[in-house]
Amino acid sequence: MDYGSACPVDARVIETMQPFMETAGNPSSIISWGLAAKKALEDAREKVAALIGVDNPREVVFTGGATESNNIAILSGAGSLKDKGNHIIVSAIEHVSILNPCKELMKHGFEVSIIPVNDQGVVDIEGIEKAITDKTVLISVMYANGEIGTIQSIRKIGELAVQNKKMFHVDATAACGKIPVDVTADHIDILTVSSNDMAGPQGAGALYIKRGIKLDPVMFGGGQERGVRSGTENIAGIAGMGKAAEISMNDMKENAIYTSGLRDKLLDGLASKVSDCYITGSRTDRLPNHASVRFSYIEGESITLNLDMMGVAAASGSACTSHTLKASHVLIALGLKHEEAHGSVVLTLSRSNTEEDVDYIIDVLPGIVERLRMMSPLTP
C-alpha cells in the first residue's frame, strides 16, 4: 500500500521497454537504430501529451524525473524572467524540489512568498492574489499533494495567473494518471509529470512548456529536448513512461472508481477502530487512491516498520524527505504540532489492491498502534 512513492512498474510497461534496454539506438543518429529510437521517443511524447491535454507534442520535454522537472521549472522559469522581476509565489505544502530551488534563488536576490493552506491543505487563493506584485514572475502550486492527497483548485489559480499575466507552473507528480489534467483548460504554462508515479520506470519525467515560453537551459550540451535538457535521452525509460501514460489515460476512470471505494473503506475502518485517529488532508477533494491518517502519541516511522513486519508496505511521508528526522513541513503547514505531525501514515492504493488487503490493514493496524502507545511516553 505504497503506490505513491514505490509504485511497481506495470508488466506492459516493462514489455515496451525491453527492446530498448537490449539495443537502444541514439535518437540523434540518422542510421536505422537511431531512427527506431527517435520513433520511440516521439511516440512516447505523443502519449504523454495526450494524457495532459496537449495538442502539440513538441511542447513536452523529457527529463530525468519529477525533481529535475521541478528544478528546471523554478530555476529556469524564474531565471529567464529576472529582467522583469524577482518575485516568486508558492504554496506552503509544495514538494522540497520546489521549495529548495526557491531557497537557492533567494541567495541571488529573489523574493519568495509562501502562501498558507487551511487545516485540510487547501491553498488560500485570495492569499495568492494579494501576494501578486508587478515584480512577480512565477506562481507555482502543486495539483495534488502526495502526503495528504488534497487536490487544489488549479483552474481558479490558473485564471488568476492569466488575469495578472504571470507564468504559472504546476507540479502534477501525484495527480497525473490519477485524475484528469488539462493544461489548456487549467491555464497552465509549465507542468511537471512523473513516470514512476503512474507505474512507469524510475529515472524518467517530463515537463510541459507552453508554446512561446522560452526557458534558459540548466544543462548544456548537444541541445536535445528543445535545448532545455541536453543529453542523450533515456529511450528505454521514456518509452516506458509513454506506455504508462497511455495505460493511465485509458484506465483512469475505472481505476478512480475502484480505488476510491477501497480508500473510503480504509479511512472509515481505521477511524472507527482506533481512538485518536485523524484523517489528514481533505476528505472530499482528495486523490481517489490516497488514504492518509495520523495517530496521536506515536511516530509514523515506527508504525510503517511494524506494518512492514506484517507484510505491508506503507509510508510515513514523502519518500524524498523520509530520511530526515524533521516533522513533515506539509503537516506543520496544516497547523499541527510537531509531535502530532510525527504520527502520520500514508497508504496509497492501486487496482492491484483488494478488499481483503483493506480488511487486513483494518485488522492489524489497531494492534500495532496499541502496542506502540503502551511504549510511548507521550501516551496519557
For residue 3, tell me if it sits in a domain.
no
Buried b / exposed e over 288-312, threshold 16 CB at 10 Å, is bbbbbbbbbbbbbbbbbebbeeeeb
Specify the CATH number for the domain of residue 120. Answer: 3.40.640.10
User: What's the confidence (pLDDT) of residue 224?
Assistant: 85
Residue 229 and residue 168 share a domain: yes
DSSP 74: I
Confidence tier at 28 by pLDDT (50, 70, 90): confident
Mean pLDDT of 223-231: 85
For residue 133, tell me if it sits in a domain.
yes
Cell of 322: 523520509
Residue 308 and residue 195 share a domain: no
Residue 219 and residue 104 share a domain: yes
Residue 282: exposed, middle, or buried by beta-carbon count in 10 A (0-12, 13-18, 19+)? buried
Q: Which of 247, 280, 315 is the last residue of a domain?
A: 247
Tell me, rounded to whole angstroms, the distance of Cα 48 from its chain centroid: 15
pLDDT in tens, 302-331: 999 999 999 999 998 644 544 556 789 999
User: What's the confidence (pLDDT) of residue 324?
Assistant: 56
- AA identity, residue 115: I
CA separation (Å) from 151 to 38, 79, 163, 253? Answer: 36, 28, 22, 17
- Average pLDDT over the chain, rounded to an integer: 94
Contact of 102 with 73, CB cutoff 8 Å: no
Check residues 183 and 226 and name the one with the higher pLDDT. 183
User: What's the confidence (pLDDT) of residue 64?
Assistant: 95
Mean pLDDT of 136-144: 98
Percent of the chain with pLDDT over 90: 86
Q: Which residue has the cell 492527497?
A: 149
Distance CA 253, CA 249 (A): 8
Q: Which residues pair with 61 in a beta bridge?
A: 207
For residue 176, tell me if it sits in a domain.
yes
Residue 261: exposed, middle, or buried by beta-carbon count in 10 A (0-12, 13-18, 19+)? middle
Check residues 222 and 323 and name the one with the higher pLDDT. 222
Mean pLDDT of 51-72: 97
For residue 177, tell me if it sits in a domain.
yes
Contact of 276 with 113, CB cutoff 8 Å: no
Buried b / exposed e over 223-237, threshold 16 CB at 10 Å, is ebbbbbbeeebbbbb
Confidence tier at 121 by pLDDT (50, 70, 90): very high
| Beta strands at 87-91 and 60-63: parallel, antiparallel or unpaired | unpaired
Mean pLDDT of 68-85: 95
Residue 284 and residue 165 share a domain: no
Residue 313: exposed, middle, or buried by beta-carbon count in 10 A (0-12, 13-18, 19+)? middle
Q: Which of 190, 214, 247 is the last residue of a domain?
A: 247
Residue 229 and residue 143 share a domain: yes
Confidence tier at 202 by pLDDT (50, 70, 90): very high
Distance CA 2, CA 319 (A): 10
SS3 378: coil
pLDDT in tens, 111-120: 999 999 999 9
Domain boundaries, position 225: 11-247
Residue 153 and residue 46 share a domain: yes
pLDDT in tens, 242-273: 999 999 999 999 999 999 999 999 999 999 99
**Longest Cα–Cα distance in the chain:** 72
pLDDT exceeds 90 at position 23: no
For residue 358, tell me if it sits in a domain.
yes
Residue 185 and residue 132 share a domain: yes
pLDDT exceeds 90 at position 169: yes
Residue 199 and residue 61 share a domain: yes
The residues assigned a catalytic role are 320
pLDDT exceeds 70 at position 131: yes
Residue 219 and residue 280 share a domain: no
User: What's the confidence (pLDDT) of residue 83?
Assistant: 93
Confidence tier at 160 by pLDDT (50, 70, 90): very high
For residue 214, tell me if it sits in a domain.
yes
Percent of the chain with pLDDT over 70: 98
For residue 380, tell me if it sits in a domain.
no
pLDDT exceeds 90 at position 216: no
User: What's the confidence (pLDDT) of residue 219?
Assistant: 83
Specify the CATH number for the domain of residue 300. Answer: 3.90.1150.10
pLDDT exceeds 60 at position 230: yes
Number of domains in the chain: 2
Residue 211 and residue 159 share a domain: yes
For residue 1, tell me if it sits in a domain.
no
Residue 99 and residue 21 share a domain: yes
User: What's the confidence (pLDDT) of residue 86?
Assistant: 97
User: What's the confidence (pLDDT) of residue 326?
Assistant: 78
Of residues 234, 245, 248, 209, the one with CA closest to residue 40: 234
Q: Which of 247, 279, 310 is the last residue of a domain?
A: 247
Confidence tier at 220 by pLDDT (50, 70, 90): confident
Check residues 219 and 331 and name the one with the higher pLDDT. 331
User: What's the confidence (pLDDT) of residue 257?
Assistant: 98
Buried b / exposed e over 124-148, threshold 16 CB at 10 Å, is ebebbeebbeeebbbbbbbbbbbbb
Residue 171 and residue 305 share a domain: no
